Amino acid sequence: MRTTFEAAAISELARRTLRSTHVIYKASIDHGIDIDDISTSLSDASAALMIEFKLFEYCEDDISVCLTDSPGGIFSGSEPSSMDEVWIPGDISNMWDRYLRTMLELAEAGYPGCVGCAGPAAEIAWDEVASRGRLA
Protein backbone atom coordinates (compact mmCIF):
# COMPACT_ATOMS: atom_id res chain seq x y z
CA MET A 1 0.00 0.00 0.00
CA ARG A 2 2.94 2.34 0.61
CA THR A 3 3.54 2.69 -3.14
CA THR A 4 0.03 4.13 -3.52
CA PHE A 5 0.71 6.66 -0.78
CA GLU A 6 4.00 7.67 -2.40
CA ALA A 7 2.26 7.96 -5.78
CA ALA A 8 -0.30 10.35 -4.28
CA ALA A 9 2.44 12.61 -2.88
CA ILE A 10 4.41 12.48 -6.15
CA SER A 11 1.28 13.35 -8.15
CA GLU A 12 0.50 16.27 -5.86
CA LEU A 13 4.00 17.71 -6.25
CA ALA A 14 3.92 17.15 -10.03
CA ARG A 15 0.59 19.00 -10.30
CA ARG A 16 1.91 21.88 -8.19
CA THR A 17 5.00 22.05 -10.39
CA LEU A 18 3.00 22.17 -13.61
CA ARG A 19 0.79 24.97 -12.23
CA SER A 20 3.85 27.05 -11.39
CA THR A 21 5.66 29.59 -13.55
CA HIS A 22 9.06 29.37 -11.86
CA VAL A 23 10.62 26.23 -10.39
CA ILE A 24 13.90 26.06 -8.51
CA TYR A 25 15.45 22.69 -7.81
CA LYS A 26 18.04 22.50 -5.04
CA ALA A 27 20.15 19.37 -5.21
CA SER A 28 23.60 17.89 -5.05
CA ILE A 29 25.41 17.53 -8.37
CA ASP A 30 25.40 13.77 -7.63
CA HIS A 31 21.69 13.64 -8.45
CA GLY A 32 22.41 14.60 -12.07
CA ILE A 33 19.41 16.88 -12.55
CA ASP A 34 19.24 18.22 -16.11
CA ILE A 35 16.84 21.17 -16.15
CA ASP A 36 17.31 21.66 -19.90
CA ASP A 37 16.06 18.11 -20.48
CA ILE A 38 13.12 18.66 -18.10
CA SER A 39 12.17 21.91 -19.80
CA THR A 40 12.46 20.45 -23.31
CA SER A 41 10.49 17.31 -22.45
CA LEU A 42 7.65 19.29 -20.91
CA SER A 43 7.59 21.81 -23.78
CA ASP A 44 7.46 18.96 -26.28
CA ALA A 45 4.59 17.38 -24.33
CA SER A 46 2.62 20.61 -24.04
CA ALA A 47 3.68 23.77 -25.84
CA ALA A 48 1.29 25.77 -23.65
CA LEU A 49 3.44 25.16 -20.55
CA MET A 50 5.59 28.18 -19.78
CA ILE A 51 7.74 27.22 -16.80
CA GLU A 52 11.17 28.63 -16.01
CA PHE A 53 13.42 26.04 -14.35
CA LYS A 54 16.58 26.77 -12.36
CA LEU A 55 18.98 24.52 -10.49
CA PHE A 56 20.98 25.47 -7.42
CA GLU A 57 23.56 22.96 -6.33
CA TYR A 58 24.13 22.34 -2.65
CA CYS A 59 25.63 19.65 -0.46
CA GLU A 60 22.53 18.06 1.06
CA ASP A 61 21.45 14.54 0.07
CA ASP A 62 17.91 15.53 -0.79
CA ILE A 63 16.16 17.31 -3.64
CA SER A 64 14.13 20.37 -2.82
CA VAL A 65 11.49 21.73 -5.20
CA CYS A 66 10.79 25.43 -4.66
CA LEU A 67 7.78 26.91 -6.44
CA THR A 68 6.95 30.59 -6.68
CA ASP A 69 3.20 30.04 -6.98
CA SER A 70 2.60 27.52 -4.18
CA PRO A 71 4.46 25.51 -1.54
CA GLY A 72 6.84 23.00 -3.08
CA GLY A 73 8.20 19.72 -1.82
CA ILE A 74 11.20 17.70 -0.86
CA PHE A 75 12.57 14.26 -1.73
CA SER A 76 14.28 13.26 1.49
CA GLY A 77 14.71 10.53 4.04
CA SER A 78 14.14 13.09 6.78
CA GLU A 79 10.71 14.58 7.32
CA PRO A 80 10.73 18.38 6.87
CA SER A 81 9.41 20.58 9.66
CA SER A 82 7.12 22.58 7.37
CA MET A 83 3.72 21.01 6.75
CA ASP A 84 3.33 23.17 3.62
CA GLU A 85 5.87 21.13 1.68
CA VAL A 86 4.97 17.80 0.10
CA TRP A 87 7.32 15.22 1.61
CA ILE A 88 8.39 12.32 -0.58
CA PRO A 89 10.50 9.81 1.37
CA GLY A 90 12.23 6.75 0.01
CA ASP A 91 14.99 6.15 -2.51
CA ILE A 92 15.55 9.68 -3.82
CA SER A 93 16.67 8.61 -7.29
CA ASN A 94 13.67 6.32 -7.77
CA MET A 95 11.18 8.86 -6.41
CA TRP A 96 12.70 11.62 -8.57
CA ASP A 97 12.33 9.48 -11.71
CA ARG A 98 8.69 8.78 -10.80
CA TYR A 99 8.08 12.51 -10.29
CA LEU A 100 9.54 13.35 -13.73
CA ARG A 101 7.44 10.62 -15.40
CA THR A 102 4.31 11.84 -13.63
CA MET A 103 4.91 15.44 -14.71
CA LEU A 104 5.42 14.34 -18.31
CA GLU A 105 2.30 12.14 -18.29
CA LEU A 106 0.21 14.98 -16.86
CA ALA A 107 1.62 17.47 -19.39
CA GLU A 108 0.86 15.07 -22.26
CA ALA A 109 -2.71 14.77 -20.97
CA GLY A 110 -3.07 18.55 -21.07
CA TYR A 111 -2.66 19.39 -17.39
CA PRO A 112 -3.20 22.01 -16.01
CA GLY A 113 -5.34 23.32 -18.87
CA CYS A 114 -7.60 20.28 -19.07
CA VAL A 115 -10.66 19.41 -17.03
CA GLY A 116 -10.44 16.12 -15.16
CA CYS A 117 -7.28 14.84 -16.88
CA ALA A 118 -5.37 14.58 -13.59
CA GLY A 119 -7.97 12.28 -12.04
CA PRO A 120 -10.34 12.82 -9.13
CA ALA A 121 -7.52 13.30 -6.59
CA ALA A 122 -6.53 16.54 -8.32
CA GLU A 123 -9.88 18.07 -7.37
CA ILE A 124 -9.51 17.34 -3.64
CA ALA A 125 -7.50 19.65 -1.38
CA TRP A 126 -4.15 18.09 -0.44
CA ASP A 127 -3.81 16.97 3.17
CA GLU A 128 -0.09 16.82 3.98
CA VAL A 129 -0.68 15.79 7.59
CA ALA A 130 -2.61 12.71 6.47
CA SER A 131 -0.03 11.97 3.75
CA ARG A 132 2.85 12.02 6.23
CA GLY A 133 0.89 9.82 8.62
CA ARG A 134 0.57 7.20 5.89
CA LEU A 135 4.20 7.50 4.77
CA ALA A 136 5.97 7.62 8.13
Is the pLDDT at 118 greater than 60? The verdict is no
Q: What is the pTM of this model?
A: 0.86
Q: How far apart are CA 5 and CA 133, in angstroms?
A: 10
Complete DSSP assignment for 16-75: HHHH-SEEEEEE-GGG---HHHHHHHHHHH-TT---EEEEEE-S-SSEEEEESSS--EEE
Higher pLDDT, 12 or 120: 12
Q: Let me know if 70 is exposed, middle or buried by CB neighbors in 10 A (0-12, 13-18, 19+).
A: middle
CA distance 129 to 48: 33
Span 104-128, average pLDDT: 74
Any idea how long the chain is? 136
Mean pLDDT of 48-64: 93
Give me the amino acid identity at 11: S
- Considering all CA atoms of the chain, what is the largest pairwise distance in Å, rounded to the nearest integer? 40
The pLDDT of residue 99 is above 90: yes
Predicted confidence at residue 2, as pLDDT, reads: 45
pLDDT at 3 > cutoff 60: no
Q: What is the pLDDT of residues 24-50, one digit of tens each?
A: 999 998 989 999 999 999 999 998 899
Indicate the domain borders of the chain: 2-135
Class of residue 39 by CB neighbours under 10 A (exposed 0-12, middle 13-18, buried 19+): middle
Contact (Cβ atoms closer than 8 angstroms) between residue 73 and residue 65? yes
